[in-house]
């Protein structure tokens, strides 16, 4: 009898232990993906992530087809769809790689119960995290709340296993009915806002592998110092690929370690350690999400429940559309809107600007990112927003308020990043480009910039906003 391989956030053939186990069995396999927007507690994907999912499924279907395996698509509550399919094909077993978002894990538990009740076997595997949250416990037996000890403890464990190769020969069952991907409406039609995405990204396992190779050749060298520079392509841009499991953290971890041993492209131990630490931030975010299933909606530190957030729809809109009058903020928000991605340093700056300069609840920002990021991730996004807002575990303290002008000058010293995303400012010199509102009128005129016409005047004054944020914080101090 066939084995059902249920693909979810693991849209790859290599280092896919569930697929490898099924391919090594006696029976044929049936590969299935279920678009589940109905099971209770699941958060529907945002627009940008839906676009990515479509491309990723198309790539997976192509890669499976090359091995003679059709990808079966079904839509609806997973427990129902999986058990129907088991019945249709007479499967004896269902296999999958585990998910760690508590809402998704609850769905998986339900599916496992339904199958067990019908005498169908279930086998599940570790593939999405180097270490599962339940395996990471402090000396007193509790979960970690601080990153550095978490990192140290993770690195002290036996080295993560080596990645598995993609299975060579796979027997499969033909003729199983499938939805058509086009009928799922995952991609925009009119307006087609994804044109900018297509020019930057190639969803799927092959795209992920190329991205990793390019990073090892060109980006990893110097990563420890250049990773904060949005004007350079010094980070891996693997985040959406990791989000959808087109590449596994095991593959990335070992490739980076190997690059050090091989001295590839002048890579140093420091570069690799820093990069591995970033991968471990991803692990830590899932560890936090496992502790607080409402990480995207509930303050990790409850004292923030009393924070006097402002409701200001027009300021929120200006932030979303990159019209705050602070170039580094606006460049980031425009990069996000156009490409579905933003550099990490700039994510920190724009998020800080929303929650501190505009005093808008971090959850508004989290929701906007959820809808517009191709890498929108239930753990990383929520944990990072809480980190910036100061409400999270081991968070940046709220009173540390970024000055967006100085952040711009430090991390985009020539203004190349800002000028790329805000062409109206391209003729301003490096000394003015991050502070057009402070630029003498003659210089502005020479650069062809009229504030309020070509580029907005600032929404708030930095000093005033800073005082206001500190006063708001004082009202909740314990
Ligand atoms: P690299 O520097 O090449 O890092 C490699 C990988 O490590 C990344 O692909 C990512 O999987 C992981 N990683 C790196 N930094 C972090 C971090 N700070 N926290 C958790 N994992 C990290 N990342 C997401 O994947 N999805 C999100 O929805 C998301 N939302 C964010 C929201 C805010 C407000 C902030 C400040 C950060 C957010 N991040 C998110 C984290 C980080 O910005 C991105 O992971 C990173 O910019 C992705 O680029 P990269 O792949 O080039 O990273």
Going by pLDDT thresholds of 50, 70 and 90, the confidence category of residue 265 is: low
> How far apart are alpha carbons 232 and 344 in whole angstroms?
12
| CB contact at 8 A, 143 and 36 | no
Q: Which of 325, 319, 305, 311 is nearest to 347 (CA)?
A: 319
> Residue whose CA is closest, atom 14 of ligand 1?
278
The string of pLDDT tens digits covering residues 6-60 is 999 999 999 999 999 999 999 999 999 999 999 999 999 999 999 999 999 999 9
Instruction: Name the band, by pLDDT with cuts 50, 70 and 90, for residue 224.
Output: very high
Query: What pLDDT is stored for residue 478 in this prediction?
Result: 67
Taking alpha carbons only, the member of 456, 444, 463 closest to residue 319 is: 456
Half-sphere exposure of 472 (CA within 13 A, CB side): 25
Q: SS3 for 5?
A: strand
| Closest CA relative to residue 221, chosen from 249, 253, 250, 262 | 262
Centre of ligand 1 from the C-alpha of residue 48, in Å = 16
**Sequence-distant (≥ 6) Cβ neighbours of residue 45 within 8 angstroms:** 53, 376
Report the nearest-CA residue for atom 3 of ligand 1: 236
pLDDT at res. 372: 97
> Please, which contacts does 213-216 make with residues 24 or more away whose CB atoms are closer than 8 Å?
216/255, 216/256, 216/259, 216/264, 216/265, 216/267
Q: Report the distance separating Cα 22 and Cα 93, nearest Å.
A: 9
pLDDT of residue 81: 98
- The set of residues, in sequence order, having a beta carbon less than 8 Å from that of 103 and lying 6+ positions away, is 41, 42, 43, 293, 378
Residue 457, both tokens: 């005047």
Q: How confident is the model at residue 191 (pLDDT cuts 50, 70, 90)?
A: confident
Which pLDDT value is given to residue 399?
A: 85
- Counting ligand 1 atoms within 8 A of each CB, the residue from 215, 252, 277, 375 with the most, and so the one to mutate, is 375
Q: Active-site residue 344, yes or no?
A: yes
Q: Please state, for a pLDDT cut of 90, what percent of the chain lies above it.
A: 92
Structure tokens at 247: 């590449």
How far does Cα 205 stand from its chain's mean position?
16
Determine what percent of the chain falls in helix, strand and coil, rounding each to the nearest 5. Answer: 50, 5, 45
Overall pTM surpassing 0.90 (yes/no):
yes
3-state DSSP assignment of residue 158: coil
- What's the whole-number mean pLDDT along residues 358-363? 98
* Distance between CA atoms of residues 50 and 53, nearest Å: 5
Q: What are phi and psi of 6, to 5 degrees?
A: -95, 105
Q: Which residue has the tokens 């991907």?
A: 181
The answer to whether the beta carbons of residues 244 and 11 sit under 8 Å apart is yes
Q: Which of 130, 131, 77, 126 is nearest to 99 (CA)?
A: 126
The chain-wide mean pLDDT, for the chain, equals 95
Is the shortest distance between the CB of 352 and ligand 1 below 6 Å?
no
Q: Average pLDDT for residues 155-168, to the nearest whole number?
A: 96
Whether the pLDDT of residue 329 is over 90: the answer is yes
Q: What 3-state DSSP class applies to 237?
A: coil
Indicate if ligand 1 lies below 6 Å from the C-beta of 419.
Answer: no
The band of 259, judged by pLDDT with boundaries at 50, 70 and 90, is confident
**What distance in Å separates the CA atoms of residue 35 and residue 184, rounded to the nearest whole number?**
9
* Per-residue confidence (pLDDT) for residue 422, from 0 to 100: 98
Q: Is the CB of 238 under 6 A from ligand 1?
A: yes
Task: Give me the domains of the chain, ranges plus CATH numbers.
Answer: 3-127 (3.40.50.620), 129-162+204-291 (1.25.40.80), 302-474 (1.10.579.10)
pLDDT digits (tens, 9 = 90+) for 270-309: 999 999 999 999 999 999 999 999 999 999 999 999 999 9
């Amino acid at each position: 009898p066939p084995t059902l391989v249920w693909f979810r956030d693991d849209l790859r053939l290599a280092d896919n232990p569930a697929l490898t186990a099924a391919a090594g069995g006696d029976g044929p396999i049936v590969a299935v993906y279920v678009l589940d927007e109905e099971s209770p507690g699941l958060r529907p994907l945002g627009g940008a992530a839906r676009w990515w999912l479509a491309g990723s499924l198309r790539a997976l279907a192509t890669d499976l087809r090359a091995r003679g395996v059709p990808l079966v698509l079904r839509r609806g509550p997973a427990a129902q769809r999986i058990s129907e399919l088991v019945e249709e094909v007479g499967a004896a077993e269902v296999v999958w790689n585990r998910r760690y978002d508590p809402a998704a894990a609850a769905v998986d538990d339900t599916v496992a119960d339904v199958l067990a009740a019908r005498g169908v076997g279930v086998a599940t595997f570790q593939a999405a995290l180097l270490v599962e949250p339940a395996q990471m416990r402090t000396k007193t037996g509790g979960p970690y709340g601080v990153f550095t000890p978490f990192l140290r403890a993770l690195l002290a464990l036996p080295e993560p296993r080596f990645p598995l190769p993609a299975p060579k020969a796979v027997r499969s069952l033909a003729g199983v009915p499938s939805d058509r991907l086009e009928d799922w409406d995952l991609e925009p039609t009119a307006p087609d806002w994804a044109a900018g995405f297509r020019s930057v990204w190639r969803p799927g396992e092959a795209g992920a592998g190329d991205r990793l190779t390019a990073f090892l050749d060109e980006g990893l060298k110097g990563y420890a110092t250049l990773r904060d520079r949005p004007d350079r392509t010094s980070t891996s841009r693997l985040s959406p690929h990791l989000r959808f499991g087109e590449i596994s953290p095991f593959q990335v971890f070992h490739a980076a370690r190997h690059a050090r041993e091989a001295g590839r492209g002048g890579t140093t131990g420091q570069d690799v350690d820093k990069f591995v630490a970033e991968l471990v931030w991803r692990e830590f975010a899932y560890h936090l999400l496992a502790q607080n299933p409402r990480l995207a909606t509930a303050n990790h530190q409850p004292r923030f429940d009393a924070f006097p957030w402002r409701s200001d729809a027009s300021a929120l809109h200006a932030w979303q559309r990159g019209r705050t009058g602070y170039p580094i903020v606006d460049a980031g928000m425009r990069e996000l809107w156009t490409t579905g991605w933003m550099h990490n340093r700039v994510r920190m700056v724009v998020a800080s600007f929303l929650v501190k300069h505009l005093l808008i609840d971090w959850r508004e920002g989290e929701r906007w990112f959820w809808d517009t990021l191709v890498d929108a991730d239930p753990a990383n996004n929520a944990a990072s927003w809480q980190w910036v807002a100061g409400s999270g575990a081991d968070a940046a303290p709220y009173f540390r308020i970024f000055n967006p002008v100085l952040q711009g000058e430090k991390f985009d010293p020539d203004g190349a990043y800002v000028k790329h995303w805000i062409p109206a400012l391209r003729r301003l010199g490096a000394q003015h480009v991050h502070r057009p509102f402070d630029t003498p009128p003659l210089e502005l005129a020479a650069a062809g910039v009229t504030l309020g016409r070509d580029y907005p005047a600032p929404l708030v004054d930095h000093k005033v906003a800073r005082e206001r944020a500190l006063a708001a914080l004082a009202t909740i101090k314990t």
